[in-house]
Amino acid sequence: MNRSNIRVLFSAETIAERNKTLVDEIAATKPDRLLVIAVLKGSFVFAADLIRAMDAAGMAPEVEFMSLSSYLEGTVSSGTVRVVHDIESPVTGRDVLLVDDILESGRTLTYAKDLLMARGAKSVRTCVLLEKPGKRAVHLIPDHVGFECPDLFVVGYGMDVAHSWRQLPFVGVIES
């Protein structure tokens, strides 16, 4: 497969502009001792751009990473989420922003949100680059959404297929 088979769904420029708007929305919530937690792996590019936009807006979040999995050996969710890599910082009394690439079933973000609230976070808000509303398996309404995404398999901007295409500066769809 080559790059010419990938159709741009959201361009790098469109994403950059939306990230600035998302930061304005996040700043308007006046977070206290903000801890941004990027849910790995797919969100790493989005989270990096988002926290740089936060810095440009005068915010100074701390940043952590969490890796969660709901997949066993295949490509279908098991429905059970487990922590693969946990954060190191305490969350007690802090405002937390969970950053993820795609909100589909909602299981992973719901699990992470519940876990962090149980650990004593003051609040846990969610920020997703893409939302596929028709795929929800649990009730979760994200606080901040970059774009509503059609029910397509997307790559780029940190998202992959078999560990490829994460490096693309846009979100695209593989066409045959």
149-153: long-range contacts at Cβ-Cβ below 8 A with a sequence spacing of 24 or more?
149/9, 149/102, 152/9
Residue 99 CA to residue 146 CA, distance in Å, equals 11
Helices (H), 8-149: 12-28, 44-56, 107-118
DSSP 88-99: -S--BT-EEEEE
Query: Is the full-model pTM beyond 0.85?
Result: yes
Residue-wise pLDDT for 66-111, tens only, equals 999 875 554 455 578 889 999 999 999 999 999 999 999 999 999 9
- Positive or negative CA dihedral for 156, 64, 60, 23? positive
CATH code, 12-149: 3.40.50.2020
Strand partners, 39: 66
Element (H, E) at 23: helix 12-28
pLDDT number for residue 72: 53
pLDDT number for residue 7: 96
Residue-wise pLDDT for 127-167, tens only, equals 999 999 888 999 999 999 999 999 999 999 999 999 999 99
Q: Where do the structural domains in the chain lie, given as residue ranges? A: 12-149
Nearest CA among 61, 34, 59, 51 for reference residue 121: 34
